[in-house]
Amino acid sequence: MTRKSLPKYVYNDRGYLRFIRRSRGISVMMHEEAGTPEFWDHYNRLLKGKPAPAPVRRNFEALILSYYESDAYKKLKPRTRSDYRRYISHIREIWAEKDPARIETHHIYELHRANADHWRQANYLVQVMVVLMNHARLIGFIKKEHGNPAKGIPLFKQQSDGWEPWPDDVRAEFEALASKRARLVYELCVGTGQRIGDVVKMKWEHFSDEGFDFTQGKTDKPLWIPLTNRLKTHLEGIARTDGTVVINAKGRPVSYRIVAEEMRTIKRKMKHEKASYYKTHGLRKNATIELYLAGCDDEMVKAVTGHSGVEMLKKYGGPIRQRELAKRAQEARNQMERSKTET
């Protein structure tokens, strides 16, 4: 059924149908197929204000519907909800009619291995299964003593140290060729150490001569960060508006997708043979490395980048972090030895 053919108060919602009647405060997910006798029976009961009969079958279709109605799902950030829906749709496609109580660890392990060619997506599938099976326990679809069969599955290891920082020669060529907007995004990424998704949402109202304040989109962490002299100088040449710092020709906000494509277009024009290999997110790693080279410790780096734990700093700082911390540690030992000889 298309939207035009759906009856009054019924709307498409994440691949399902939802009955919404705001005047009566009714919002109910309908798991029946549109046009079937079961659908019309449920629809007529909702029109009369009668509750729908509780589903009797325990399967992933019912589990997913229940999870979408849960507070845990509704409290997720929009980006996370979108990611979850993508992977849940895959699980729904292959296991919709299966009873969650019959899913064992080896089934999820096999699902994980079947997607080995895309290790990041395979790992995310397992993580989403952990969430779904935990919800299955909460609503009584599986017994508590059975535990969560998705937990404990060994995930694929990241095949590299993650995003690569841009080498000096790549940075120099990009700076020479970059458009005004791409150069602004580049300077904001390096100067603030933030994700490009946050950079394109930064507003002038959050900037002052002392620094800028904002809340990270991924972590909901509020930050206040002083501006580097380099970034402050670059921003002085940018006309300020009432909206975002990064804008289009009409002065309106620009999406992440458009900015990312603009950055890729510039790298395709570069002579460096590996220019396209370096992603915009890698500039966050450049910022992290620069902070360590400047003598910052882990807590100081986290205060700028907003990283939540040391494990991520190890990935972003890499050998530079280890080297700088080792230099400071050994210098502390040297200072101790000098103190001994002086006494």
pLDDT band at 274 (very low <50, low <70, confident <90, very high): very high
Q: What distance in Å separates the CA atoms of residue 223 and residue 216, rounded to the nearest whole number?
A: 8
Which residue type is seen at 252? R
Residue 90: the pLDDT is: 93
**Average pLDDT estimate for 68-81:** 89
| pLDDT at site 14 | 74
pTM: 0.65
Alpha carbons within 13 A on the beta-carbon side of 64: 28
* Local confidence band at 40 (pLDDT 50, 70, 90 cut-offs): confident
**Weakest-pLDDT range from 192-206, 233-247, 301-315:** 301-315
How is residue 23 written in tokens? Answer: 């005047």
State the pLDDT at residue 171. Answer: 97
Q: Report H helices in 143-255.
A: 168-177, 180-192, 196-199, 229-236
- Cα separation, 247 vs 220, whole angstroms: 23
Reference 293, options 329, 317, 315; nearest CA is 317
Place of tokens 């589903």: 55
**pLDDT, tens only, 166-224:** 999 999 999 999 999 999 999 999 999 999 999 999 999 999 888 999 889 888 889 99
Asked whether residue 162 carries a pLDDT value surpassing 70, the answer given is: no
What are the residue boundaries of the structural domains of the chain, listed by start? 3-47, 60-146, 168-327
**pLDDT class for 3, splitting at 50, 70, 90?**
low
Per CATH, which fold does 168-327 belong to?
A: hpI Integrase; Chain A (1.10.443)
- Let me know how many helices (H) and strands (E) the chain has, helices first: 14, 5
pLDDT, tens digit, 9 for 90 and up, residues 261-273: 999 999 999 999 9
CA angle, residues 259, 262, 265, in degrees to nearest 5: 155
